[in-house]
Structure 1
Amino acid sequence: MTADPLLDRALVEEATKKSGLIWVQGDDSPARALWHVWYEGAVHLVGDGPGEQPLPGLVDGGTAEVTVRSKDKGGRVVAWTADVRELSAGSEEWEAAVAELKGKRLNAPDAERVTVRWAEQCRVVRLTPREVTTELPSGSLAAVPLPTGATTRQPVPDALPRLLFKRKRR
Structure 2
Amino acid sequence: MTQTPMDAMDPIDRALVEEAAKKSALVWVQGSEGAARALWHIWHEGAVCLVGDGPDEQPLKGLGLVDGGTATVTVRSKDKGGRLIGWTARVVELTPDGEAWTAAVGELKGKRLNAADADSIAERWARECRVLRLEPVPGAGLVAADSGSLSAAPLPSPAVTRGAIPAGLPKLLARGKRGRKAG
Is residue 132 from structure 1 mapped to residue 145 from structure 2 by the alignment? no
Mean alpha-carbon deviation: is it higher for 116-125 or for 150-159? 150-159
Is residue 151 from structure 1 mapped to residue 160 from structure 2 by the alignment? yes
Q: 2:103 aligns with which of 85, 91, 96?
A: 96
* Contiguous gaps of at least 5 residues in structure 2: 1-8
Q: 1:43 aligns with which of 41, 48, 51?
A: 48
* Contiguous gaps of at least 5 residues in structure 1: none
**What's the CA shift for 1:113?**
1.1
Query: Where is the strand percentage greater, Structure 1 or Structure 2?
Result: 1
Aligned pairs for 1:116-131 within 5 A: 116-130=123-137, 131=140
Distance 1:155 1:12, change over 3 A: same
Distance 1:77 1:168, change over 3 A: same
Question: How many residues align structurally?
Answer: 167
Is residue 71 from structure 1 mapped to residue 78 from structure 2 by the alignment? yes
| Partner in structure 2 of residue 167 of structure 1 | 180
Distance 1:27 1:168, change over 3 A: same
Distance 1:91 1:169, change over 3 A: farther
Is 1:47–1:123's contact at 8 Å kept on the other side of the alignment?
A: yes
What secondary structure sits across from 1:167 in the alignment?
helix
| Distance in 1, Cα, partners of 2:11 & 2:41 | 23
- Scaled by the length of structure 2, what TM-score is found? 0.82
- After superposition, the CA RMSD in angstroms is 2.3
Q: 1:80 aligns with which of 82, 87, 90?
A: 87
Which residue identity does 1:52 align to in structure 2? E
Which residue identity does 1:113 align to in structure 2? S
**What's the CA shift for 1:155?**
4.9
Is 1:87–1:124's contact at 8 Å kept on the other side of the alignment?
A: yes
Deviating 4+ runs (over 4 angstroms): 154-162
| Partner in structure 2 of residue 7 of structure 1 | 12
| Distance in 2, Cα, partners of 1:17 & 1:100 | 12
Which residue identity does 1:32 align to in structure 2? R
Distance 1:49 1:168, change over 3 A: farther
**What's the CA shift for 1:136?**
0.9
